[in-house]
């Protein structure tokens, strides 16, 4: 049937509904096991390729639900290829599955916009998240692709994550669970700049909650033992953004921030021999931003009569500055100045020194 359909050069058997039914019938009722493997592969290739081409060519013309149905068929069919094919062929199949999931993410997000009923909107947001997570997972398990393609896939996932957040915040601002689920897969596919954009969007919405903050923490936790100077700079800048988020959700957030910053200080210290004077100065400034901010917050807490908490924040700030200075970075005696100022504060209030 597929050969006759192809030979007729008519990509539709009549209506869009019939097209979907035609591909769904093949994807769910395949009887090719008795055929030679090469013939089976030809059938699978024809249906998977033509199904995807139909969607991409008619996406703007079809109702989105038909596009989703056909993409689902393509994903099922691509999953039926024999596992014993050569590495290049399997890599190509996996990449096509990735593109199907990315198109399905766009389609379901688009369909969710058209629904006024919250039940259907939630349903399609959930579907979009599932497709998006498949794209994210592809980046964690498929390391057999060329660097330029890898970069392209990463860019696609970043864009999809940003779009999901935009739609979720604008149309479904209570979707805390969905946003946390997407963030849980951001480690391999996101960079600090994207996380800053997402956190800024969250902080301007009603979703500045402890659960979302914890999800950002999990996406942040460094797994590197090394990195480039630019990567370290981006991570320091992201910690600034996360710190602002943490202030809204967790009055003990300094401990986590300082721990992450100390990891970055160690990485930056290992990179010092290859740093230019300008980059050394920039990194040194970035290192000092967080301890100064934590110290200033300790003063705010003291003013608010939260003396024990103020002392915790002060100690975290001093620990971080001492780590920076021990590693040989010039802070213009920041630790001494902090200690002197805090002692003076306590002296004014209690006549006591640390």
Which two tokens mark 2? 């597929």
Contact 28, 76 (CB under 8 A): yes
Report the alpha-carbon angle 117-184-120, nearest 5: 10
Does the residue 190 lie in any domain?
no
d(CA 89, CA 84): 10
How many angstroms separate the first and last alpha carbons of the chain? 86
Does the residue 44 lie in any domain?
no
Residue-wise pLDDT tens digits, 315-354: 999 999 999 999 988 888 888 988 888 888 777 543 333 3
**Token pair 């202030």: residue:** 247
Residue-wise pLDDT tens digits, 121-150: 778 888 888 898 899 888 877 767 778 888
Does the residue 135 lie in any domain?
no
Does the residue 103 lie in any domain?
no
Helical packing angle, 307-326 and 254-271, nearest 10°: 10
- Domain extent, residue 269, equals 237-354
The sign of the CA dihedral 116, 119, 121, 122 is positive
Number of domains comprising the chain: 1
| Per-residue 3-state assignment (H helix, E strand, C coil) for 96-144 | HHHHHHHHHHHHHHHHHHCCCCHHHHHHHHHHHHHHHHHHHHHHHHCCC
d(CA 272, CA 75): 48
Contact 102, 150 (CB under 8 A): no
Does the residue 280 lie in any domain?
yes
Which two tokens mark 105? 């993410």
Does the residue 177 lie in any domain?
no
Does the residue 296 lie in any domain?
yes
H/E element, 316? helix 307-326
Q: List per-residue pLDDT tens for the chain, 354 residues long.
A: 444 444 344 445 457 888 888 888 888 766 666 778 888 888 889 988 888 888 888 776 788 888 888 899 999 999 888 888 888 888 888 999 999 999 999 888 887 777 666 677 778 888 888 898 899 888 877 767 778 888 888 889 888 888 888 877 776 666 677 778 777 766 545 567 778 888 888 887 777 888 888 888 887 765 555 678 888 888 888 888 899 999 988 888 999 999 999 999 999 999 988 889 898 989 989 999 999 999 999 999 998 889 899 999 999 999 999 999 999 888 888 889 888 888 887 775 433 333
Q: Which pTM does this prediction carry?
A: 0.71
Does the residue 30 lie in any domain?
no
């Amino acid at each position: 049937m597929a050969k006759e359909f192809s030979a007729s050069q008519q990509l539709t058997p009549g209506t869009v509904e019939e097209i979907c039914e035609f591909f769904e019938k093949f994807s769910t009722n395949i009887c090719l096991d008795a055929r030679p493997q090469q013939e089976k592969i030809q059938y699978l290739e024809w249906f998977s390729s033509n199904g995807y081409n139909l969607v991409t060519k008619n996406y703007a013309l079809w109702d989105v639900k038909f596009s989703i149905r056909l993409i689902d068929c393509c994903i099922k069919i691509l999953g039926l290829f024999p596992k014993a094919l050569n590495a290049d062929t399997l890599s190509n199949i996996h990449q096509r599955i990735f593109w199907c999931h990315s198109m399905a993410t766009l389609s379901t997000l688009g369909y969710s916009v058209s629904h006024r009923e919250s039940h259907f909107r939630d349903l399609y947001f959930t579907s979009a998240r599932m497709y998006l997570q498949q794209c994210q997972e592809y980046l964690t398990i498929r390391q057999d692709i060329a660097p330029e393609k890898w970069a392209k896939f990463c860019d696609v996932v970043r864009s999809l994550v940003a779009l999901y957040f935009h739609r979720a915040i604008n149309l479904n601002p209570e979707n805390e669970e969905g946003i946390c689920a997407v963030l849980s897969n951001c480690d391999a596919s996101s960079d600090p700049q994207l996380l800053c954009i997402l956190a800024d969007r969250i902080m301007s919405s009603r979703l500045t909650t402890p659960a979302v903050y914890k999800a950002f923490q999990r996406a942040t936790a460094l797994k590197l033992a090394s990195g480039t100077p630019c990567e370290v700079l981006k991570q320091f800048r992201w910690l600034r953004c996360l710190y602002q988020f943490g202030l809204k959700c967790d009055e003990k957030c300094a401990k986590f921030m300082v721990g992450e910053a100390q990891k970055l200080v160690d990485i930056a210290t290992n990179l010092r021999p290859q740093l230019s004077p300008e980059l050394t100065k920039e990194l040194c400034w970035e290192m000092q931003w967080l301890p100064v901010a934590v110290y200033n917050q300790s003063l705010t807490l003291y003013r608010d009569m939260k003396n024990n908490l103020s002392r915790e924040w002060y100690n975290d700030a001093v620990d971080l500055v001492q780590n920076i200075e021990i590693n040989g970075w010039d802070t213009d005696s920041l630790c001494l100045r902090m200690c002197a100022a805090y002692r003076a504060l306590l002296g004014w209030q209690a006549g006591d020194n640390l």
